[in-house]
Amino acid sequence: MAHASYILISFLLVVVLNVAKGQPLVPALFIFGDSVVDVGNNNDLLTIVKANFPPYGRDFSNHSSTGRFCNGKLATDYTAENLGFTSYPPAYLNLNVKGRNLLNGANFASAASGYYDPTAQLYHTIPLSQQLEHYKESQNILVGIVGQSNASSIVSGAIHLVSAGNSDFIQNYYINPLLYKLYSADQFSDILMQHYSTFIQNLYALGARRIGVTTLPPMGCLPAAITLFGSGSNECVVRLNTDAVNFNKKLNTTSQSLQKSLSGLKLVILDIYQPLYDLVTKPSENGFSEARKACCGTGLLETSILCNKESIGTCANASEYVFWDGFHPSEAANKVLSGELLAAGISLIS
Ligand SMILES: *[C@@H]1O[C@H](CO)[C@@H](O)[C@H](O)[C@H]1NC(C)=O
Ligand SMILES: *[C@@H]1O[C@H](CO)[C@@H](O)[C@H](O)[C@H]1NC(C)=O
Ligand SMILES: *[C@@H]1O[C@H](CO)[C@@H](O)[C@H](O)[C@H]1NC(C)=O
Ligand SMILES: *[C@@H]1O[C@H](CO)[C@@H](O)[C@H](O)[C@H]1NC(C)=O
């Protein structure tokens, strides 16, 4: 413990020194995945899974709804700040001009996508395989601007963050008889692992050497999941949490073997399960007063287009709530989670 806090303190010192020089700790930050990290790539897609209208973003610095599924910042926004960046990696699909604005990274994430491409196809969003194509495009643009050798060092020094799997379960497996009648949750996790493994190998082949992957959250504690799958109870749904824990174990072992087989790769699992579970089960210890209901609307179900400015019941102060909408943490909760990501991610930088 003492050792861990020593590392944390020396790390923070490095951050402070670098940030003071106006120099981020890594050249760039590239982000892939689902609504946990999407900053607006879905805005112009023909999908219902969007968040580019109020009250989304109401507590953001400029009070604008960017497409983030949150009242304010995402955990990865805090990560970008912690790394010393002065702006967030832009939503790749929203850039009218793609050029120097990609030098510090980009965000390719699309809400309702996952490791399993059919999940994104169900909602007309961008599957991970396509996000990778967008990443390739952006690498070619980088080469055009700074040349092959500089572009390669940007890519190999960059941190790549991946958040996926939530939508594969919640927006697909649990509600899709074509899947849940065919596969147990364990078998479905194995399928996701194959896709995960391919995705990491493809990222590696494109030059990525520092990759952080978030675990599944306690899916059974998300307000909408309790409403939908909790059989009238107000408690976290044990079955869904068990599925998340099993998935996370597989993620861990799969990552360990990837790390062994891909030389020079730093692959770190960023645990959000435990910290979010702690917030839900002990909200007051962390300064929150409500963890069952989300802030937006009734707080029992609403997300995306159902969480809008006509929603009745939206809370006044989202900082008291662990969840902003039925599926997504509030900015205040994201801030806590980002601290955990930082602690887990230190080995990516050192
Ligand atoms: C608000 O800030 C975000 C993040 O910096 C930016 O992407 C967005 O364009 C801004 N919105 C407006 C209306 O200025
Ligand atoms: C490549 O990086 C070097 C060293 O940082 C720099 O001097 C040079 O200008 C860069 N080349 C281009 C084309 O940006
Ligand atoms: C997997 O879990 C073990 C034990 O909890 C942990 O020490 C290890 O760091 C984890 N591996 C990865 C790749 O996160
Ligand atoms: C909102 O709630 C947080 C957390 O309880 C509290 O610190 C803050 O003062 C509140 N803000 C307002 C405007 O009441």
* Residue 18 or 176, more confident: 176
Bond from prior residue into 27 cis (ω within 30 degrees of 0): no
Annotated catalytic residue 325: yes
Annotated catalytic residue 156: no
Name the CATH topology of 15-220+240-282+334-345. Answer: Rossmann fold (3.40.50)
Quick check: 10 pLDDT over 70? no
Annotated catalytic residue 124: no
Q: Which of 278, 302, 274, 258 is nearest to 216 (CA)?
A: 274
Q: Which atom of ligand 1 is nearest to the CA of 57?
A: 1
Alpha-helical regions (H) of the chain: 2-20, 75-82, 117-123, 128-146, 148-157, 166-170, 177-180, 185-205, 223-229, 238-261, 273-281, 331-349
Quick check: 18 pLDDT over 70? no
DSSP 155-183: HHHSEEEEE-SHHHHHTTGGG-HHHHTT-
Cα(first)–Cα(last) distance of the chain, in Å?
A: 18
Q: What is the pLDDT of residues 84-142, one digit of tens each?
A: 999 999 999 999 999 999 999 999 999 999 999 999 999 999 999 999 999 999 999 99
* pLDDT of 2: 45
Give the amino acid at 347: S
Is ligand 4 within 6 A of the CB of residue 290?
no
Q: Tell me the domain boundaries of the chain.
A: 15-220+240-282+334-345
Q: What is the pLDDT of residues 48-58, one digit of tens each?
A: 999 999 999 99
Closest-CA residue, ligand 2 atom 9, reads 146
Q: What's the 170 CA to ligand 2 centre distance in angstroms?
A: 45
Residue 94: count of CB within 10 angstroms of its CB: 16
pLDDT bracket for residue 1 (50, 70, 90): very low
Question: Over pLDDT 90: what percentage of the chain?
Answer: 89
Q: What's the 176 CA to ligand 3 centre distance in angstroms?
A: 32
Give the amino acid at 137: E
Average pLDDT, the chain: 94
Which listed residue (167, 325, 330, 338) is catalytic?
325
Is ligand 4 within 6 A of the CB of residue 129?
no
226-249 mean pLDDT = 97
Q: Which of 95, 160, 106, 91 is nearest to 138 (CA)?
A: 106
Q: Give yes or no for a contact between 273 and 289, defined as CB atoms under 8 angstroms apart.
A: no
Is ligand 2 within 6 A of the CB of residue 259?
no
Residue 350 tokens, joined = 């050192």
Is ligand 4 within 6 A of the CB of residue 286?
no
* Residue 89 or 14, more confident: 89
Q: What's the 80 CA to ligand 3 centre distance in angstroms?
A: 24
Which listed residue (65, 328, 330, 338) is catalytic?
328
Closest-CA residue, ligand 3 atom 5, reads 252
Residue among 62, 70, 73, 107 to mutate when testing ligand 1 (max atoms within 8 A of CB): 62
Give the amino acid at 96: N
Quick check: 213 pLDDT over 50? yes
Quick check: 3 pLDDT over 60? no
Q: What's the 39 CA to ligand 2 centre distance in angstroms?
A: 30
